[in-house]
Amino acid sequence: MDAKSLSIGIRIKVLEMVHRANASHVGGAFSMADILAVLYAEVLNIDPKHPADPFRDRFFLSKGHACSALYATLGLQGFFPLEQLDTYAMDGSMFLSHTSHKVPGVEISSGSLGHVLSIATGVAFAAKLKKATFKIFCIVSDGELNEGSNWEPIMLAPQHKLDNLVLIIDYNKIQSLGFVKDVIDLEPLRAKFEAFRWEVVEIDGHNHEEISRTLSGLSENKNGLPKVVIAHTIKGKGVDFMENTILWHYRSPNIDLYNNAVKQLNQS
């Protein structure tokens, strides 16, 4: 599936999942949907039939609350039968509403913020140790950067020249209870990472061509610097009444809003 179709498919599937389960976090799932679509359609080398292949690229999702978008991506890409997602967040389902490593294609469980970048850094270090050439991508949310634990691997990765590590920040500017700038302003974010000796690129996190070019190019650049992509995104991107609202961090769409949203996405 091409990235454009995949990005629409992810959003429609996520809507269906969160509507059925009356679940949260659709806004944060939509803000990273385009990044996931491009990663899985164009950048990552992972065979859905062999998700444990040691040579595969590694993708780590740290903002585990937005896992509906990752599950939808993996389902649409054939890691498991898509209809299994009908059980999302239901009694007895393996599809927990925070990322579960029991799901085929998921590298690590996440849900407690500020954990996964350390793990991805460990994997990047191990790859260097083993002289393996696979790439390592990790998506962290903006609000998640409040967790001090993130800044420990941000300090460590340049020390060991982990240029095989690409951190993507889903910078949708809204966290759980408010706008990022009003809770703990991250700016100047680029300067923070530059000061920590990372190579920094800022992109429009909804422009597929830009995402693809950046993510493919960065991981080829063996310059001794870990890479961070600050992806400027829109929370709830793709559905007008969800975009840029704090409400849709938690809200689940009722049937009318669900129908309205699906209609908008089908026309996009």
Partner 1 sequence: MRTAFINQLIEEARKNDKVFLIVGDLGYSVVEPFVQQFPDRYLNVGVAEQNMAGFAAGLALEGYCVYIYSIGNFPTLRCMEQIRYDICYHNLNVKIVAVGGGYSYGALGPSHHATEEIGMLRTIPNMVVCAPGDPLESKKITTFCTTHKGPCYVRLGKAGEPVVHTDLRELTIGDIIEVKKGETTAILSTGSMLKYVCDFVNDNHLNSAIYSFPFIKPINKSQLKEIFLNHRSIITIEEHQAQGGFGSAILELGNDLLNEGCIAVLPKIRRIAIDDKFYSIAGSQQYLREVAGIVLEKDFFQ
Instruction: Decide if residue 44 touches partner 1 (CB under 8 A).
Output: no
- Give 22 or 112: the residue with its C-beta nearer to partner 1: 112
Interacting residue with partner 1 among 33, 46, 71, 107 (CB under 8 A): 107
- CB of residue 153 to partner 1, shortest distance in Å: 5
Containing 141, the helix (H) or strand (E) segment is strand 136-141
**How many chain residues are in contact with partner 1, going by CB under 8 A?**
27
Q: Where are the alpha helices (DSSP H) in 198-254?
A: 208-220, 247-250
Instruction: Decide if residue 119 touches partner 1 (CB under 8 A).
Output: yes
Stretch that binds partner 1, among 14-22, 29-37, 124-132, 220-228 (CB under 8 A): 124-132
Q: How many CA atoms lie within 13 A of 238 on its CB side?
A: 30
Interacting residue with partner 1 among 122, 192, 196, 213 (CB under 8 A): 122
Interacting residue with partner 1 among 118, 164, 172, 219 (CB under 8 A): 118
Interacting residue with partner 1 among 49, 81, 91, 129 (CB under 8 A): 129
Q: By rule CB under 8 A, what string of x and - marks binding of each residue 151-170 to partner 1?
A: -xx-xx--------------
Q: Map residue 204 onto helix, strand or coil.
A: strand
Interacting residue with partner 1 among 124, 201, 225, 229 (CB under 8 A): 124
Q: By rule CB under 8 A, what string of x and - marks binding of each residue 199-218 to partner 1?
A: --------------------
User: Exposed, middle or buried by CB within 10 Å (0-12, 13-18, 19+), for 82?
Assistant: middle
State the Cα–Cα distance between residues 163 and 117, nearest whole angstrom: 14
User: Nearest CA to 6 among 54, 43, 53?
Assistant: 43
Instruction: Decide if residue 127 touches partner 1 (CB under 8 A).
Output: yes
Stretch that binds partner 1, among 30-38, 82-90, 103-111, 190-198 (CB under 8 A): 103-111
- Give 11 or 58: the residue with its C-beta nearer to partner 1: 58
Which residues, 6+ apart, have CB-to-CB distance to 265 below 8 Å?
Answer: 8, 11, 12, 15, 238, 239
State the Cα–Cα distance between residues 132 and 127, nearest whole angstrom: 5
Torsion, CA 123, CA 97, CA 246, CA 140, rounded to 10: 0
Encoded tokens for 155:
């300090």
Under the rule (CB under 8 A), what is the footprint of partner 1? 101, 107-109, 111-112, 114-127, 129-130, 149, 152-153, 155-156
